Chains A and B, each alone.
Chain A
Amino acid sequence: MNLTLKIWRQKNANDKGKMVDYPISGIEPDMSFLEMLDVLNEELINKGEEPVAFDHDCREGICGMCSLYINGEAHGPDRGVTTCQLHMRMFNDGDTIYIEPFRAAAFPVVKDLVVDRSAFDRIQHAGGFVSVNTSGNTIDANSIPVNKHDADDAFDAATCIGCGACVASCKNSSAMLFVGAKVSQFALLPQGQVEATDRVMNMVKQMDEEGFGNCTNTGACEVECPKGISLENIARMNREYLKASFKG
């Protein structure tokens, strides 16, 4: 396959940045998108140019490290996959492919396609956990009965890998699908009830302080989420938040 790549290049956080065209040839349809970028970077290094910086780690679709806004969609045109699991067979010979970083004021660009998603970490620190006594008398988690339906929903919410595709896809750069999933995975379980009020209040407060936008329920996040996190989690977070607010 012969392609034209239009890639966002930005030297550092303070650089203005611009889109740069790179023709590339000899790409196999079975290559992953990141392998295609590896080929490009090898060519750039051989030419003595600066390779394109992009985030990646496991390349198995489970770590949430890869990102990229490809042809106007987070993680590209395929559904239910991260960029590392996106394959070049989704494109045609001769295509022009736009590759941009996830855009949000709360996700500043570090370099080229690498963005700082530590805002998500700070939201997690604000309440995305349960406090467990680990002093030697820890109660076996299985000793607390959990309704199967709730356990399944909690597990579904917990599959969020925190990649930030929801923020990147949302026209408002809202992080509510991420925070909704993180609130839900505990709100659905008895273990999460003790800190339920503080959790949702603190996580939403941190989310707002980070500068994410307001959800307007377009549903773009749900469509683009590589893990299929449902909008039901945002509704559950809204309920949890309102319940906690009225409780005082």
Chain B
Amino acid sequence: MSGILNSSIGRKFAMALSALFLMIFLLQHFIINFSSIISADAFNNLSHFMGTNWLIQYIMQPVLIFGVVFHFVMGFILEIRNKGARQIKYAKNNGAANSSWMSRNMIYSGLFILIFLVIHFIDFWIPEINTKYIQGDMSGLLPSGEYRYYEELVHKFQPLWRVALYCLGFVFLALHLLHGFMSAFQSVGANNKYTRALKGFGKAYAIVIPLGFIIIALVHHFNH
């Protein structure tokens, strides 16, 4: 067990576990955001719960941040090591003949997602931390006495540049997931009679979730 991260398979396994964790997080994030186009109250209540519950804030949030950072750092480490495994490139390489564009360019889709996440942190996470933990306002209320979450969400989606960047970020996320979903299962050793069904589910997940996030952004942009 010791030193598992020093082996190629151990690193693959760790990468896959962080990916599976992030995919579960993404699903719950999507469900909460999706509630905003059904009911402002539902979104407010769910957001207030997530934003103030101690288990989410003090346990799951650090785990999530660790998971995100780990996934990116390990991704870069693997990319650098893999580049070093072929020092002289082919004069002609027909990658499209045997593998998907998504599978060959995970580092680039990942990099764009990282840029998106930095902006998302500046947009959402840092103001949240400031309001709750620096100014000490855990009420989640506007001066009017209503919850602030829905108002803030709608406000964020008004500038066209942010909506466009948001949509582009999710296009790259879809490309990343189109390979990443099934790849995570393969890395943990799950390749069996259920693989075909899992591949189909993975494709659906990779398209439906990012598309859903895009729809949420567009609905709020055009409805207000």
Which positions in A face B, CB cutoff 8 Å? Answer: 6, 8, 19, 69, 71-73, 77, 98, 100, 103-106, 169, 171-174, 176, 204-205, 207-208, 211-220, 223-224, 231-232, 234-239, 241-242, 245-246, 248
Contact = CB atoms under 8 A, between A and B. Distances in A.
B190 A216 contact: no
B189 A103 contact: no
Main secondary structure of the interface of A (DSSP, over half): mixed
Interface of B: 1, 4, 7-13, 78, 81-82, 84-95, 97-100, 103-104, 106, 179, 182-183, 186-192
A238 B188 contact: yes
A232 B7 CA distance: 20
Contacts of B4: 245
Given A174-B85, A231-B191, A214 B11 contact: yes
A41 B191 CA distance: 45
B8 to A, nearest CB: 5
Contact of B91 (A100, A172, A238, A246): A100
Given A103-B90, A219-B99, A171 B9 contact: no
Contacts of B86: 103-105, 171-173, 213
Contact of B8 (A215, A218, A235): A215
Contact of B99 (A205, A211, A223): A223
10 contacts: A172-B86, A174-B8, A204-B7, A204-B8, A213-B86, A215-B8, A216-B103, A235-B191, A236-B191, A238-B189
B90 A217 contact: no
